[in-house]
Structure 1
Amino acid sequence: MVQFLKFIKLNLKPLSYGWLLTFLSSFGQTYLISLYVIHITQAFDITEGTFGAIYAVCTVVSSMIMLSIGHTVDHIPVKKVSFFTILALAMCCILMGLSYHLAFVFLALIGLRLSGQGMLSHISFTILSKYYDKDRGKAISFSTLGFSIGEAILPIIIVSTIAYFDWRIAMIGSGILLLIYLIRLRFTDLSHFDQQLNSFKPSSKSLFKDFFEIIKDKRFLILMPTSFVLSFTATAVIFYQYVFVEQKGWSVTLYASFFTAYAITRLLFSLFGGLWVDRFTAKTLFRFYLIPIGLGLLAFAYINSIIGALIFLILMGITVGMSGTIKTSVLAEVYGIKKLGTIRSLFTMFMVLSTALGPLIIGQMIDMGLSIQIIMISLSLFVLLCILNAQRIKYVPRIKTQL
């Protein structure tokens, strides 16, 4: 840990920018948007189910758009890509706050999911992966702390703003704060991140060819399922967590307090994950990092006491904490860094897609009357299959050249 702190001190400027991008991505993340759901449904006189369907469609659309713009971080200066992404996020926040028709809500949600959850975290992980080689794990793990800090403070600020003013004011205020930050960005030197830029800008044809080459390669079928299953499972369970808690007969208040354990565990293993990636390589950790959440799902399924929920949250925190560093670092180790932006955009698209499908499919299972135990066991079996598939990565060589 002392070595980690020394690394942060020596590299604070580039690391802090990566952290800032993941922090700002919170404005497009599910956990923050969910705070507005009840107010949006009331304002537009729609059901939660209707909003959920709209949200899923917008998430899928944003994941598709990622394919056409994710490569920009490979050949366009970081400041320029960041500026337009944050500007888009700000304008979509303001658009949502000013929306008086569902069509504008639809457009705003696409923009929030694309620029927030999709592009900002994508830019952060890509530029740090390219800038650092030996210390890539520590750099990315520090960046992921932006998610944790966002989860810790932004919901309090947003909920308070909604309570004292209005949900529209909270949205518009978020957009204005982002616009104010763009003034600071204008005077920020990010040229050090542009050393790895490609001069070649891909055409639609070459981009499609790149994606086709990635998908047909065996490495994709090894790497993609683990990324998909984690986002699918974590999002679905968190989305319906209070439904499960009520069906189990657990105390909602006590369960909510257990989330502190999840937050602390995720924070700690975000740091440990970076240290372990640099020591053991992401390829090695990739084979095992899903095991905790798989065991956690079984605890949720079979333990009737609320202690089962605590065990699940802690174990999920371990996996989620390490995941950001491992998933990004393993792409750099397996594919190289020259086209990392293009490659990550494809994987990010599937990750974002999984966050839409998870709540949709698990919601259908709930509507079918399936028990919590069956749902959790089904998810754990899905995780197990992906863990077994991940073992094939040991036969994939570690390289530093482009695809």
Structure 2
Amino acid sequence: MAATNRFSFIDPAKSPFFYGYIILVVGTFGIYCSIPGQTIGVSVFTDPVKDALGLTRNQFSNAYMIGTICSSLVIGRAGKWFDVYGARYVAFFAALTLSLALMLCSWSVQMSEFLKALLSLNTWWIPFLLMTVLFFILRFSGQGVLTMASRNVIMIWFDKNRGKVNAISSVAISFGFSSSPLWVNALIEGFSWQTAWQFLAAGLLVFSLIALQFYKNNPEEHGLSPDGSNVDSEEEKKHVPLAHQYTVKEAQGTRAFWMYALILAFNSFFITGLTFHVVSVFASEGFPKEDAISIFLPASVVAVTISSIFNFLSDYLQLKLYLYLMILGGLMASVGFLFLSTAFGVPLLIGGFGILGGFFAVLNAIVWPRFYGRTHLGAITGKVMSFLILASALAPSIFSFCFSTFGSYRLMGYLGLAFLLFLAIGSIKANNPQ
């Protein structure tokens, strides 16, 4: 046990209450600390940073897209690190790396000018390539590794109460993420974008030490059981069913893996594409900017309500029902997207948008440990995370290509309907492999 507690003064076995609740708090905080590496945290910096570097909006966006795609290609490796080294070290080094990336981002103008002088070249390619590399590190460590490690460590410490604790975590994260642009923008306006990134880097450095102290890989390493249950006698242990611990290759051999992964990827693709181009999408149907932006608050209310209720009920209901309800949300959003200018278009889009986001918060956390066990959870969720990141990276460009080629975004709605109908048929036999 000493080895599992190395560099930490915290012993879960000596906690006066079940240590999993501390994991719930620090793991949720860990996801919140990934905000500087998430789109919602980076987007606030777009205008001041691109102007300082002399990049156009398209150049800056393409650097972000390429960096994100590259991170999706290697995030699966981080999942394997999670299985081998555990949540403590993976979260610690992810937070450290994100902190370093943010500090380098704050010096991006100086580094760009230095490289231009060193190479005797005054070209936009230098800041473009520099930001591509920095975005890769930012997205890999923040959106990818830190988020995955923090979410997984919570799921590992709970079993029967997994849905209930995920409900608490999801609500906290929803409100935390939705409010983050306000305080990040306040930092930028109150100081500067460079100083804001440096403040965030300092915060991540502090959190890395918190993770090293409080993150614990699993309850069994400390003589505990998930949910804090006690299974002491040999006779009791015989009656505890052991779930099959799927490897990532075995998981990929089941239909459920692909159906759940694809609906989660659809959510990332559709919501990212719509969010990125929301003003343009609504303008193409004759709506002002204010109407476009106004959809997010009611959609967030729907998402938080859905995730709260169905996270709690997930401890008692089959997840296949959730899969079909999420597909239904996607169908509603796609129909609303197609008929945006009609009386029912916007309400359908908002409702579908919220249902997608609400069930995403449930399924992305709960389905993988329940279906495939905890032993290879990192590798499995790492593979799924690569799909989600890739989908979110491609969405803005594909939406933009659709509009520039056809003069409308409606093709995305038709493609969404076709894809969701395919998922609905394919999911008929997407049962829990346990």
Aligned residue for 2:326? 289
- Higher Cα radius of gyration: 2
In structure 2, C-alpha distance between the alignment counterparts of 1:349 and 1:300, rounded to whole Å: 26
In structure 2, C-alpha distance between the alignment counterparts of 1:302 and 1:384, rounded to whole Å: 18
**Within 5 A, what are the aligned runs for 1:41-56?**
41-56=50-65
In structure 2, C-alpha distance between the alignment counterparts of 1:359 and 1:22, rounded to whole Å: 24
Cα-to-partner distance string for 1:299-353 (whole Å, 9 max, x where unaligned): 2321415763343123211221121221332222322221111111111111111
Aligned residue for 1:318? 355
**Within 5 A, what are the aligned runs for 1:143-222?**
143-186=169-212, 188-191=213-216, 193=218, 195=220, 212-222=249-259
Aligned residue for 1:363? 400
**Within 5 A, what are the aligned runs for 1:77-92?**
77-92=86-101
3-state SS, counterpart of residue 31 of structure 2: helix
Q: CA deviation at 1:280?
A: 0.5
Aligned residue for 1:68? 77
Aligned residue for 1:124? 150
Which stretch has the larger CA shift, 169-178 or 214-223? Answer: 214-223
TM-score, scaled to structure 2: 0.80
Paired AA for residue 141 in structure 2: S
Cα-to-partner distance string for 1:89-115 (whole Å, 9 max, x where unaligned): 111111111112224322221111111
Q: CA deviation at 1:175?
A: 0.8
CA contact (8 A) 1:21 1:146 kept: no
Q: 1:228 to 1:241 in 2, by over 3 A?
A: same
Q: CA deviation at 1:9?
A: 11
In structure 2, C-alpha distance between the alignment counterparts of 1:307 and 1:222, rounded to whole Å: 29
CA contact (8 A) 2:72 2:387 kept: yes
**Within 5 A, what are the aligned runs for 1:212-251?**
212-251=249-288
In structure 2, C-alpha distance between the alignment counterparts of 1:239 and 1:116, rounded to whole Å: 20
In structure 1, C-alpha distance between the alignment counterparts of 2:175 and 2:30, rounded to whole Å: 12
Q: CA RMSD in A?
A: 2.5
In structure 2, C-alpha distance between the alignment counterparts of 1:71 and 1:349, rounded to whole Å: 13
In structure 1, C-alpha distance between the alignment counterparts of 2:83 and 2:362, rounded to whole Å: 19
CA contact (8 A) 2:279 2:293 kept: no
3-state SS, counterpart of residue 279 of structure 1: coil
**Within 5 A, what are the aligned runs for 1:105-116?**
105-116=131-142
**Unaligned 5+ residue runs, structure 1?**
1-7, 198-209
CA contact (8 A) 1:282 1:333 kept: no
TM-score, scaled to structure 1: 0.86
Q: 1:243 to 1:16 in 2, by over 3 A?
A: same
How many pairs does the alignment contain? Answer: 378
Paired AA for residue 187 in structure 2: T
In structure 2, C-alpha distance between the alignment counterparts of 1:280 and 1:39, rounded to whole Å: 48
Is 1:15 the counterpart of 2:40? The answer is no
Q: CA deviation at 1:82?
A: 1.4
Paired AA for residue 293 in structure 2: A
Which stretch has the larger CA shift, 271-280 or 217-226? Answer: 217-226
In structure 2, C-alpha distance between the alignment counterparts of 1:352 and 1:192, rounded to whole Å: 25
Q: CA deviation at 1:265?
A: 1.7
Q: 1:333 to 1:185 in 2, by over 3 A?
A: closer
CA contact (8 A) 2:255 2:430 kept: no
Which stretch has the larger CA shift, 144-153 or 267-276? Answer: 144-153
Aligned residue for 1:104? 130
In structure 1, C-alpha distance between the alignment counterparts of 2:278 and 2:343, rounded to whole Å: 13
CA contact (8 A) 2:338 2:413 kept: yes
Paired AA for residue 366 in structure 1: F
Cα-to-partner distance string for 1:247-267 (whole Å, 9 max, x where unaligned): 122132233233211222222
Aligned residue for 2:168? 142
Q: CA deviation at 1:356?
A: 1.0
Q: CA deviation at 1:217?
A: 4.5
Cα-to-partner distance string for 1:11-49 (whole Å, 9 max, x where unaligned): 632211221122112111112211112222212222222
User: Alignment identity in percent?
Assistant: 21
**Within 5 A, what are the aligned runs for 1:258-273?**
258-273=295-310
In structure 1, C-alpha distance between the alignment counterparts of 2:139 and 2:185, rounded to whole Å: 20
Cα-to-partner distance string for 1:214-253 (whole Å, 9 max, x where unaligned): 4454444333321221111111111111111211221322
Q: 1:169 to 1:387 in 2, by over 3 A?
A: farther
Q: 1:258 to 1:10 in 2, by over 3 A?
A: farther
Which stretches of structure 1, 4 residues or more, deviate above 6 A after TM superposition? none
Cα-to-partner distance string for 1:85-142 (whole Å, 9 max, x where unaligned): 1111111111111112224322221111111111122112222222211111222232
